[in-house]
Structure 1
Amino acid sequence: MLLSKGLEIEIYTGTPQGRIVGLSDQIVKQLDGFVREPDSRNVEYTTPPCCSYESLLCAVLQPRLQLRDYLKTLGDYTLIPGSTLSLGDASRFYRSDPNNPYHAYIENTYGTDVVTASVHINIGISDLDLLFRACRLVRLEAPLILALSASSPFLDGKVTGSHSRRWQVFPKTPAHVPLFRSHRHFIDWTNEQLELGTMQNVRHLWSAVRPNGDRRPYSLNRLELRISDLVIHPLQLLSIVAFLEARIQQLINQPHLDPLKSSQLSAARLLELTDENEQLAAQHSLDATLTHWRTGESISAADWINEIYDEVYPMAKKSGFACFLSPLKKILREGNQAQQWLAAYQQGETLPDIIQGAIAAAADHDYELSQYLCEPAALVA
């Protein structure tokens, strides 16, 4: 049985030339399902939870097409790929809601380091023991998702030296987040952080993975993975979701995959290597040399992903979603968005040309893909 899945997708708006323009005030007033981010230059929409990958594809694409059409009514505006302000301006914060005190806190505390675009992947898990087991496993392997999704090598018109500049500078908060042993541990820890002021509210837990629900920290029903950069290609995005779901399904069948049970390393060392792996994946993505949580041995991100892929593919095929998992291999073969952009830059293309080409390609792809929404068999053939 497939798990429920929902996505929170943040995306920049701007011109076909790559200038990012704040339009979220107008968007949220006119379109249902879109919400503001603290900075007006990006906007977020959320897909409803669904088990079917065909339904999830529609839920990703249809609001985006609606947004694209609406932006045309405002002028020559479009959606801009990437997870950072690739061509600028990172020197100024454009508040979407000047009267919101939480937004004021974010601007004053973090500045434009948080003005990024990303995808948060939510996987429904109602069993609390399983939820925290999954949170532990996925947190240790979250750097692999970052490696697949990296799409932020540029900032302010410059090459940053990182494949995911977004995650390298994003202010993970609080600074130390444990591997939660249980729901009770999570409740007690969260309340302690609120008392200490290291979290402003229950939403102010900005780690790669967190348990989520309607009344945090008490009522929980899903795992939220927050490390992913924006993946603009819908089928590639779904392949990453399928990879995550398949790994959790494997954990359901093989509880010994819980890192607190099967790793040779201490919990403290697991946290250390995970932090190190996140930074290495942010820097080098699929080319990063990481430390495997089970053995402490070095392994490339691409090899680790391939290793897990081979383990979970038979189960995904049996469950009927292997066709949505398989585009992951194309990312491994051809590189993620950041690697492709950097390769183009090394071949002499300018940053504006690269971003402008990506903007046009993403629009063309969205509209082409939309023609098949009612024909899922043709889509995956």
Structure 2
Amino acid sequence: MLLSKGLEIEIFTGTPQGEVIGLSDQIVRQLDGFVREPDSRNVEYTTPPCCSYESLLCAILQPRLQLRNYLQTLGDYTLIPGSTLSLGDASRFFRSDPNNPYHAYIENTYGTDVVTASVHINIGIEDLDVLFRACRLVRLEAPLVLALSASSPFLDGKVTGSHSHRWQVFPKTPRQVPLFRNHQHFIDWTNEQLELGTMQNVRHLWSSVRPNGDRRPYSLNRLELRITDLVVQPLQLLSIVAFLEARIQQLIDQPHLDPLKSSQLSVEKLLEITDKNEKLAAQHSLEAALTHWRTGETITAKDWISNIYDEVYPIAKGAGFACFLSPLKKILREGNQAQQWLTAHTQGQPLPKIIQQAIATAAEQDQELSKYLCEPAALVA
């Protein structure tokens, strides 16, 4: 049986030339399903939970096509790939809701380090024992998803030196997050953080992975992976979702994959190497030399992903979604978005031209896929 899946997708708005412009106030007033981020230059939409990958693909595309059409009614505006302000301006914070005290806290505490675009992947898991087992495994392997999705090598018109500058600077909060043993551990820890003030509210847990639900920390029904950079190519994004689901399905069938049972390392060591792996994946993505949580041995992100792919492909095939997993091989073969952009820059392409081409390509891909998979998006007057 397929698990339910839902995505929270943040994306920048601006011009075809790559200038990022804040339009979220107008977007959320006119379009249902879109919400503000603290900075007005990006906007978020959420896909409803669904088990079918075909349905999820349409749920990704339909709001985006509607948003593209609406932006055209405002002027020559479009959507901008990448997870950072590639061409600027990272020196200023453009508040989307000046009267929101939580937004004020975010601006004053973190500045533009949080003005990023990303994808949060939610996988529905009702069984709480399975949920926390999955949170532990996915937490240790989240750097692999970052390596696949990295799309933020630029900031303010310059090469940053990291494939995911977003995750390199993003303020993980609180600084120390344990591997939760069970639901009660998560409840007790969350309430302690709220009392200490290290979390402002139950949403203020900004780690790579967290348990999620309608009434956190008490009512939980899904795993949320938050480390993913923005992946604008829909089929590549689905392949990453399929990779995550297949790994969780494998864990359900093979509970011994729980790191608390199968790792040779202590919990303290697991957390240490995972933090290190996140930083390495943010810097080098698929070429990063990571430490495997099970053995402590060094392995490249690309090789580690390939090994897991070979393990989970039969699971995906048996469940009927292997065709959505297979585009992952193309990412491994041709590189992620950051690697492709950096290659183009090394070959002499100016950074603005790289972003402008990516903007045009993303628009073309959305329109092309919409012909085959979705009803035409209605133009909003």
Indicate the TM-score class for this superposition, using the shorter chain for normalisation.
over 0.9
CA deviation after TM superposition for structure 1 residue 341, in Å? 0.1
Question: Residue 308 of structure 2 aligns to which amino acid in structure 1?
Answer: I
Instruction: Determine the structure 1 residue equivalent to 2:67.
Output: 67
Question: Residue 5 of structure 1 aligns to which amino acid in structure 2?
Answer: K
Instruction: Determine the structure 2 residue equivalent to 1:379.
Output: none
CA deviation after TM superposition for structure 1 residue 156, in Å? 0.3
- Whether contact under 8 Å (2:150, 2:337) holds in the other structure is yes
Aligned equivalents of 2:303, 2:321: Cα separation in 1: 22
Question: Residue 359 of structure 2 aligns to which amino acid in structure 1?
Answer: I
Per-residue Cα deviation, 1:317-371 (whole angstroms, up to 9, x for no partner) = 0110000000000000000000000000000000000000000000001000101
Secondary structure of 2:250's counterpart equals helix
Aligned equivalents of 2:105, 2:205: Cα separation in 1: 15
CA deviation after TM superposition for structure 1 residue 45, in Å? 0.1
Alignment of 1:186-197 (within 5 A): 186-197=186-197
Instruction: Determine the structure 2 residue equivalent to 1:287.
Output: 287
Aligned equivalents of 1:262, 1:369: Cα separation in 2: 42
Instruction: Determine the structure 2 residue equivalent to 1:218.
Output: 218
Alignment of 1:97-112 (within 5 A): 97-112=97-112
Aligned equivalents of 2:68, 2:216: Cα separation in 1: 34
Per-residue Cα deviation, 1:170-218 (whole angstroms, up to 9, x for no partner) = 0000000000000000000000000000000000000000000000000
Judged with a 3 Å threshold, the aligned counterparts in structure 2 of structure 1 residues 374 and 200 are, in CA distance, closer, same or farther, namely closer
Instruction: Determine the structure 2 residue equivalent to 1:268.
Output: 268
Instruction: Determine the structure 1 residue equivalent to 2:14.
Output: 14
Q: Percent identity?
A: 87
CA deviation after TM superposition for structure 1 residue 99, in Å? 0.1
Aligned equivalents of 2:374, 2:7: Cα separation in 1: 21
Instruction: Determine the structure 1 residue equivalent to 2:378.
Output: none
Secondary structure of 1:310's counterpart equals helix
Per-residue Cα deviation, 1:63-91 (whole angstroms, up to 9, x for no partner) = 00000000000000000000000000000
Per-residue Cα deviation, 1:289-326 (whole angstroms, up to 9, x for no partner) = 00000000000000000000000001100110000000
Question: Residue 297 of structure 1 aligns to which amino acid in structure 2?
Answer: E
Aligned equivalents of 1:352, 1:242: Cα separation in 2: 33
Instruction: Determine the structure 1 residue equivalent to 2:162.
Output: 162
Secondary structure of 1:371's counterpart equals helix
Alignment of 1:1-381 (within 5 A): 1-373=1-373
Question: Residue 105 of structure 2 aligns to which amino acid in structure 1?
Answer: Y
Aligned equivalents of 1:284, 1:340: Cα separation in 2: 13
Secondary structure of 1:7's counterpart equals strand
CA deviation after TM superposition for structure 1 residue 106, in Å? 0.0
CA deviation after TM superposition for structure 1 residue 93, in Å? 0.2
- Whether contact under 8 Å (2:214, 2:220) holds in the other structure is yes
CA deviation after TM superposition for structure 1 residue 277, in Å? 0.1
Per-residue Cα deviation, 1:14-53 (whole angstroms, up to 9, x for no partner) = 0000000000000000000000000000000000000000
Secondary structure of 2:372's counterpart equals coil
CA deviation after TM superposition for structure 1 residue 374, in Å? 5.1
Secondary structure of 2:299's counterpart equals strand
Secondary structure of 1:270's counterpart equals helix
Aligned equivalents of 1:374, 1:274: Cα separation in 2: 39
CA deviation after TM superposition for structure 1 residue 164, in Å? 0.1
Secondary structure of 2:265's counterpart equals coil
Aligned equivalents of 1:331, 1:205: Cα separation in 2: 30
Aligned equivalents of 1:283, 1:267: Cα separation in 2: 25
Question: Residue 172 of structure 2 aligns to which amino acid in structure 1?
Answer: K
Aligned equivalents of 1:306, 1:266: Cα separation in 2: 26
Aligned equivalents of 2:168, 2:230: Cα separation in 1: 15
Per-residue Cα deviation, 1:94-118 (whole angstroms, up to 9, x for no partner) = 0000000000000000000000000
Secondary structure of 2:274's counterpart equals helix
Aligned equivalents of 1:314, 1:274: Cα separation in 2: 27
- Whether contact under 8 Å (2:147, 2:285) holds in the other structure is yes
